[in-house]
Amino acid sequence: MFTNRTVIRESNERIVLNTIAQKGPHSRALLSDTIGLNKATISDIVKKLIAQKLINEVGIGESTNLGGRKPIMLELNAKAGFSVSVDIGYNYIDVMAQRLDGTAYKRELFPFIVIKRETIIQEISDILDVFLSSLPKSPFGIVGILIAIHGVVLDNQIQFTPAYDLAGLDFSSALHEQFACPVYLENEANLLAVSDHTKEESYANLVSISIHSGIGSGVILNNELYTGINGYAGEIGHMQIVTENGRPCPCGASGCLECYASEKNILDTYQTRTGNKNALVTDLCRAFTEKEEEAMAVINDMVRYLATGIQNLTALYNPEIIFINSEISRLIPDFTKQIESRLTSFTSKNIAIKESHLGEEAILYGAGYLIIQRFLAS
């Protein structure tokens, strides 16, 4: 039912394809100039890529200064296949398909799900079975599935998951067998960094902080995702910010940032203080903007703890910009400004703190970009 034509491309084919995919429409002559291959070789490669339905001839470009015929432009065939991203949050599953140019095609959110170790693979398999069947046919079908995990992932294996118990589960084999396409696993904060980096190409060094059930961050250094030797780089949720009588953390330490400033923790604290066990993040943020005392207290604490973590982060990585991704920062307009105002060290003074512009779908977008990069590089 699901087609995945795996084609091993020659190195020059990969270069031509990626040049068009990353830099937009090119004529054959421009490809020849940019890549440094002769025109006959470029023509042969282009012929092959058109036959494989990976690129299309589109429109007519501008003629060169020397005049002559206006060239035919070539662009990536965005409809050649789909990437499929799955975000397993602490109480939801979010699925999105993207075209090969990264644009979203279809998204489906399954909220209020209890993530259980015993059933999660079957659950994801059932969701994908229906979701993938709803996508139109395309030459390459599903070019990859990526599961975003809110925990530490190393080499496609889940190492540690504080918000749920999924460590060691083999999603990859089960789903690969069922859907016959590459299946990847990656930490959600790393995907956020990939997403911000793809959209904000001007920054070669950035950190994207993800605040959901826990707190993590993805680090891009010199345009590359930096994960560290064990995949823990950027795990700022487990930066100790309270050294005496700190709250115990599932990581084995106590006083960790995410025990004080994660969305889940902040909401739990708000629910306990107000006695409103059904309060949602939206209720908390509305109460904050209406200057309700309890809401202001928990949000101000969150800002204070986050500023401490971010202060330390800037001293470690010296990024150009820090992106924040959380529902709370989206709902409270000056949230990032409040954090910024607390950063006083020379290490953090000129570093911008910005809301991640892709919003709640950023993890899914990042996953899709990574799948597409890997497909085009294969």
Q: How far is the CB of 254 from Zn ion (least distance, A)?
A: 8
Q: How far is the CB of 72 from Zn ion (least distance, A)?
A: 57
Would you say 26 or 238 has its CB closer to Zn ion? 238
Q: With binding defined as CB under 5 A, does residue 236 bind Zn ion?
A: no
Q: Which stretch binds Zn ion (CB under 5 A): 233-241, 269-277, 284-292, 361-369?
A: 233-241
- Return the closest-CA partner of residue 71 out of 49, 51, 42, 100: 42
- DSSP character for 360? G
| Distance (Å) of CA 205 to CA 202, 208, 225, 348 | 9, 10, 10, 14
- Cβ partners under 8 Å of residue 110, min gap 6: 92, 93, 94, 95, 127
Cα first-last separation, the chain: 23
Would you say 236 or 256 has its CB closer to Zn ion? 256
Q: What is the DSSP string of 123-136?
A: HHHHHHHHHHHTSP
Q: With binding defined as CB under 5 A, does residue 256 bind Zn ion?
A: yes
- Cβ partners under 8 Å of residue 355, min gap 6: 323, 324, 325, 329, 330, 335, 336
Q: How far is the CB of 250 from Zn ion (least distance, A)?
A: 7
Q: How far is the CB of 19 from Zn ion (least distance, A)?
A: 43
Q: How far is the CB of 256 from Zn ion (least distance, A)?
A: 3
Element holding 334 (H helix, E strand): none
Would you say 138 or 217 has its CB closer to Zn ion? 217
Our CA angle for 163, 167, 173, nearest 5°, is 125
Select the residue interacting with Zn ion from 86, 189, 249, 328 (CB under 5 A). 249
Q: How far is the CB of 215 from Zn ion (least distance, A)?
A: 10
Q: Which stretch binds Zn ion (CB under 5 A): 54-62, 145-153, 197-205, 244-252?
A: 244-252
Backbone phi and psi for residue 27, each to the nearest 5 degrees, phi listed first:
-85, 165
Q: Which stretch binds Zn ion (CB under 5 A): 66-74, 178-186, 248-256, 316-324?
A: 248-256
Q: With binding defined as CB under 5 A, does residue 150 bind Zn ion?
A: no
Q: With binding defined as CB under 5 A, does residue 152 bind Zn ion?
A: no
Q: Which stretch binds Zn ion (CB under 5 A): 41-49, 87-95, 231-239, 308-316?
A: 231-239
Residue found by looking up tokens 């429109």 in the block: 59
Would you say 45 or 310 has its CB closer to Zn ion? 310
Q: Which stretch binds Zn ion (CB under 5 A): 119-127, 187-195, 237-245, 363-371?
A: 237-245
What residue type is 61 in one-letter code?
G
Asked whether the beta carbons of 56 and 74 are under 8 A apart, the reply is: yes
Q: How far is the CB of 148 from Zn ion (least distance, A)?
A: 20
Select the residue interacting with Zn ion from 238, 241, 339, 366 (CB under 5 A). 238
User: How many chain residues interact with Zn ion (CB under 5 A)?
Assistant: 5
Dihedral angle, C-alpha 288, 294, 300, 305, nearest 10 °: -130
Asked whether the beta carbons of 286 and 279 are under 8 A apart, the reply is: no
Q: Which stretch binds Zn ion (CB under 5 A): 56-64, 253-261, 262-270, 272-280?
A: 253-261
Centroid of chain to Cα 190: 6
Q: How far is the CB of 217 from Zn ion (least distance, A)?
A: 14
Q: With binding defined as CB under 5 A, does residue 251 bind Zn ion?
A: yes
Instruction: List contacts with Zn ion (CB under 5 A).
Output: 238, 249, 251, 253, 256
